[in-house]
Amino acid sequence: MRAWARHGLLAAASVGFLAAGLVAADVASHWERPLGDLLLRLDRAAPPSLPAGMPDVVVVAIDEASLAVGRAAWPWPRSLFAQLVARLDTAGARLIALDVDLTHTRELPGQASLGDALARSGRVLLAEHRPAHGGAAPPPSDLAARAAGVAAAIVEPDPDGIVRHSAELLVREQRALRLLPAAMLALATSRELSSEPLHYRLDERRLEPPPLQLSAVDVLEGRFDPRDLAGQVVLIGVTAAGRADTWATPLAPHRPGVLVQALAYRTLAARTSGAAVLVTPDRTAQIAGLLLLSCCAGALHLLQPRSRRRALLALAFGVVVAVCFALREFALLLDPALPFAILAAHALLGMERFERLLLPSGERRLAPALLRPALPDASGLRPLDPVLELLADLVDASGVALLSITPDGELANERLQWVRRGSRSVGDVDTANLVLADRAPRVFEGRVPGRREPGGLAVYTPLFAGPTAVGVLVVEQDVASHFDETQLRSIATVGTQLALSVESFRLLGNLRSTFHSSIELLATAVEARDGYTEMHCRRLAAFATLMADRLGLPADEIESIRLGALLHDVGKIGIRDEILMKESRLTPDERRHIEEHPLIGHRIVEPIEGLTPTSLGIVRHHHERWNGTGYPDGLAGEEIPLGARIVALADVWDALSTPRPYKPAFPQAQVRALIEKESGGRFEPALVALFLEILEEHGDEMLALCVSSSAPTA
């Protein structure tokens, strides 16, 4: 087995175990939840209705109109609840659940009449509410004794504030609390109550079609069809704005609590009757699946790089199909985040080999712009510059340096430093290594390591984030003096904070790398559909980056333009192959269909967390024209985002310079003439002038990439 293949298989195991560890430690749930919500929003298919014989839920809503019934102020007198129960009982409701907090109405009139109504019915379930300040809020004991039962109306959101789960039973303050939906189902179907918590995922799709909802005032005044209620479970609750408790769910930002209880009942009823309900795999199944996927991706390292890249794309497509199929056919909600992160990591492992295969050795000056995001500096620690200057002023130092640790555990030759005068280096690497080995700060007086001139003072402080060494902080003075206790304590305190900051930047850099790799994998998926346009998105990213840099845009804006260029054609995923690959002229209908790809692409990438409006604007508007005749929105002039104007220009140059199924590559002289002709029409004149200037400098390199990437493969 080749060395690089063995390395790939070992990396596959490492990536798999890392992903499994994230699942086991519940770290992955932070991005699993929003992605799962997105899948639910995309999958609008309603699940089968409840089986015959299983009572459905009807909501009787105490809405705004009901609050003013009989000129009675809220909270209602108990007599109105008694009338409501009597009406529903006469209509033949199988069970009546009163999801209303009765504790604060203890002194209102009608207590006896409500108790009599509960006793006559024998089918009324009361709710125990849990106030925000803690403790229990059960209904009055005289009412609870005459009801069919009491259950807890508790809704517990996930840590992000969204309600996704419920349970049949919760243990709070050493009390076992039966939840309202489980008690409703048990009383309505004579089902035995479970003594286990039995947590389950709420299947919000089961609110389609929505349950029948009647206004409480209509029920009180007899304006309803009793046949709608006969044999059903009736849930009474408040929906009036300002009175109802509302909760955020994956498909609705403000859902009244009574509808959340109805959703939990429908989910539990379907689950009990054996119908398909939304489920998520447990951690063991998730870990097993991730390890298997990483092993499959690792085995692809045995292939040649080009074949491996295509196989990774096929595997990514298989993950998408599996996630969609599992949700549609089995109501199984799978998380695609970690699988795609695993595939992105494996794609990232082979990038350098892919670069060497694609580009001749003399044509790699633009390779970093094509294949990797540009960082502002090698260490990624440039934001710490002001901290070093502030520390120098605080202790009156002549120079301060931060020597950081490389991923291999060695001190880097590059250092982040601030000096009061000149450009000398601060800190000696050999001395810093000794200090790291001792794990204790050292003060050097008279003879400062690494300096030829005698005299001076230096303090070397090792920096650790937990057990991990992250660097050495060096503080120097030019003259022989001493640091007093307060200054040494200041150096130690700043060193501790610097260690935490360095580790944070590393973690942030890893997260950024994963994000960029995922974006590049998505761009590769678009390019892979058509061998004629392979590397098209990367060439555009390189050219757009050069133009943005020449325009003097800030680094974050340049990076946003680069990402937008990579993703600009992602909407072509939604274009049929027979149109996308057609060698003859397109019909008007086919042209209209292919012109939908900017909108399709915008819909695809808009939910991606981390993409800026600049990147999104490029995806949507890269076919707009300076004179307003473009699509999809017909923007003109500076209404078109700058990034989209840049990418539109590079896009046309690339299309003309590369062979396509319907044409050969145009000679460069003709390409330049066509672009100049469109100045002021299709393109912004100032950008055309800049583009042609860059083309003079880097055109041969870019053209060589076009030739290399369009060459036939064996």
**Parallel, antiparallel, or unpaired: how do β-strands 233-238 and 95-99 relate?**
parallel
Range of the domain at 291: 3-42+281-358
Distances 583 to 587, 593, 652 between C-alpha atoms, Å: 12, 16, 18
Q: Please say if the pLDDT value at position 633 is more than 80.
A: yes
Q: Please say if the pLDDT value at position 524 is more than 60.
A: no
Hey, which residues does 418 pair with through a beta bridge? Answer: 400
Residue 523 lies in a domain: no
Average pLDDT estimate for 394-416: 75
Alpha-helix residue ranges (DSSP H) falling in 273-366: 283-299, 305-330, 337-349, 351-358
Quickly state the pLDDT bin for 30 (edges 50, 70, 90). low
Q: Tell me, what's the pLDDT at 292?
A: 79
Q: Which uninterrupted H or E stretch holds 672?
A: helix 668-677
Quickly state the pLDDT bin for 98 (edges 50, 70, 90). very high
CATH number at residue 486: 3.30.450.40
**Residue 320 shares a structural domain with residue 216:** no
Average pLDDT estimate for 490-516: 65
**Residue 30 shares a structural domain with residue 179:** no
Give residue for tokens 């699988």.
339
**Residue 33 shares a structural domain with residue 71:** no
Q: Tell me, what's the pLDDT at 359?
A: 37
N- to C-terminal Cα separation, the chain: 23
3-state SS, residue 126: strand
Backbone angles phi, psi at 126, to 5 degrees: -95, 155
**Parallel, antiparallel, or unpaired: how do β-strands 442-445 and 457-465 relate?**
antiparallel
Residue 515 lies in a domain: no
Residue 102 lies in a domain: yes
* Cis before 109 (ω within 30): no
**Residue 225 shares a structural domain with residue 300:** no
Interval 57-71: pLDDT, tens? 999 999 888 887 755
| In contact, 158 and 164? CB cutoff 8 Å | yes
Could you give the CA distance from residue 158 to residue 202 in angstroms, rounded to a whole number? 12
Q: Tell me, what's the pLDDT at 2?
A: 40
Q: Please say if the pLDDT value at position 545 is more than 50.
A: yes
**Residue 560 shares a structural domain with residue 689:** yes
- Choosing from 228, 249, 272, the residue where a domain stops is 272
Interval 648-676: pLDDT, tens? 998 888 888 877 666 777 888 888 888 88
HEC-encoded secondary structure of 536-569? HHHHHHHHHHHHHHHCCCCHHHHHHHHHHHHHCC
Percent of the chain residues past pLDDT 90, beyond the cut: 12
Q: Please say if the pLDDT value at position 453 is more than 80.
A: no
The residue that leads in pLDDT, 515 or 472, is 472
**Residue 589 shares a structural domain with residue 627:** yes
**Residue 446 shares a structural domain with residue 483:** yes
CA nearest 278: which of 333, 316, 336? 333
**Residue 570 shares a structural domain with residue 651:** yes
Domain total for the chain? 4
Q: Please say if the pLDDT value at position 34 is more than 90.
A: no
Q: Please say if the pLDDT value at position 535 is more than 90.
A: no
Report the chain's mean pLDDT, rounded to a whole number.
76
Residue 522 lies in a domain: no
Q: Tell me, what's the pLDDT at 578?
A: 75
Average pLDDT estimate for 298-305: 68
Average pLDDT estimate for 331-338: 77
Residue 320 lies in a domain: yes
Give residue for tokens 């580790």.
503
**Residue 62 shares a structural domain with residue 34:** no
Please give the structure tokens belonging to residue 472: 């050495």
Hey, which residues does 97 pair with through a beta bridge? Answer: 125, 235
Could you give the CA distance from residue 301 to residue 156 in angstroms, rounded to a whole number? 45
Please give the structure tokens belonging to residue 661: 């199924």
DSSP 256: E
Query: Which stretch of 227-236, 301-310, 518-527 has the lowest confidence by average pLDDT?
Result: 518-527
Average pLDDT estimate for 187-198: 75
Q: Please say if the pLDDT value at position 640 is more than 70.
A: yes
Residue 367 lies in a domain: no
Q: Please say if the pLDDT value at position 460 is more than 50.
A: yes
Backbone angles phi, psi at 463, to 5 degrees: -110, 130
Residue 230 lies in a domain: yes
How many H helices and E strands in the chain? 26, 17
Please give the structure tokens belonging to residue 580: 């996308």
| In contact, 692 and 708? CB cutoff 8 Å | no
- Choosing from 244, 272, 300, the residue where a domain stops is 272
| In contact, 575 and 592? CB cutoff 8 Å | no
Q: Tell me, what's the pLDDT at 651?
A: 87
DSSP 191: P
Residue 370 lies in a domain: no
Sequence-separated (6 or more) residues with CB below 8 Å from residue 58: 93, 211, 212, 213, 214, 228, 229, 232, 233, 234, 235
**Residue 572 shares a structural domain with residue 489:** no
Q: How many CB atoms lie within 10 A of CB 134?
A: 8
Q: Is the dihedral of CA 116, 118, 119, 120 positive or negative?
A: positive
Q: Tell me, what's the pLDDT at 306?
A: 60
Q: Please say if the pLDDT value at position 396 is more than 90.
A: no
CA nearest 563: which of 529, 593, 608, 531? 608
Q: Please say if the pLDDT value at position 628 is more than 50.
A: yes
Q: How many CB atoms lie within 10 A of CB 675?
A: 19
Please give the structure tokens belonging to residue 214: 């009647």
How many Cα atoms occupy the beta-carbon half-sphere of 13 within 13 Å? 5
- Choosing from 219, 247, 272, the residue where a domain stops is 272
Q: How many CB atoms lie within 10 A of CB 87?
A: 22
**Residue 249 shares a structural domain with residue 351:** no
**Residue 122 shares a structural domain with residue 254:** yes
Q: Please say if the pLDDT value at position 213 is more than 90.
A: yes
Quote the strand ranges of 1-75, DSSP E. 57-62
CATH number at residue 662: 1.10.3210.10
Whether pTM > 0.75 for this model: the answer is no
Could you give the CA distance from residue 9 to residue 298 in angstroms, rounded to a whole number? 5
Q: Tell me, what's the pLDDT at 353?
A: 41
Quickly state the pLDDT bin for 349 (edges 50, 70, 90). low
Q: Tell me, what's the pLDDT at 224?
A: 92
Amino acid at 293: L
Q: Which uninterrupted H or E stretch holds 128?
A: strand 124-128
Percent of the chain residues past pLDDT 70, beyond the cut: 75
